[in-house]
Amino acid sequence: MGLLAIGLSLAPAGAQFRPSDETPDELPAGPGREETFYACTACHNFKLVAAQGLTRPQWDDSLAWMTKRHNMPDIQGQERELILDYLTTHYPPRAPARGGGWRNPFATD
């Protein structure tokens, strides 16, 4: 019975704590939408996430940072892949970057 109690106390608080009335329906439809929404809105608005446009390795770094800095559960395996796929598909870097750098859209070369 002790194990059960521990399991319950580690359950994510996302279900109870909703910092806003955002719902996953407001996000672009696609695989991983709900998983991503609930994983991230446990602590903050999804707007904070949607404001970013990152490559897959950068999203992976963001997740690692959330875990290290803010104690986000260390999501691994298939669920992490799903979330990274979702974020990379719908929130990619805004300007097409070659070699990872920002390029001036007005550059003539």
Phi-psi region at 77: left, alpha or beta (left = phi > 0; alpha = psi -120 to 50): left
Within 10 A of 12 (CB to CB), how many other CB atoms are there? Answer: 13
Cβ proximity to ligand HEC: between 27 and 72 the closer is 72
Single out the residue of 61, 40, 53 nearest to residue 96, CA to CA: 53
Q: Which is nearer to ligand HEC, 1 or 29 (CB)?
A: 29
| Shorter beta-carbon distance to ligand HEC: residue 4 or 71 | 71
Answer yes or no whether residue 84 interacts with ligand HEC by CB under 6 A. no
Q: Which of 63, 82, 86, 88 contacts ligand HEC by CB under 6 A?
A: 63
Q: Which stretch binds ligand HEC (CB under 6 A): 1-9, 23-31, 69-77, 100-108?
A: 69-77
The binder of ligand HEC chosen from 6, 70, 106, 108 (CB under 6 A): 70
Q: CB of 24 within 8 A of CB of 35?
A: no
Q: Tell me the C-alpha distance between 95 and 78, whole Å.
A: 29
Measured between alpha carbons, how far is 59 from 87 in angstroms, rounded to an integer? Answer: 7
Q: Choose the binding region for ligand HEC from 1-9, 19-27, 43-51, 100-108 (rule: CB under 6 A).
A: 43-51
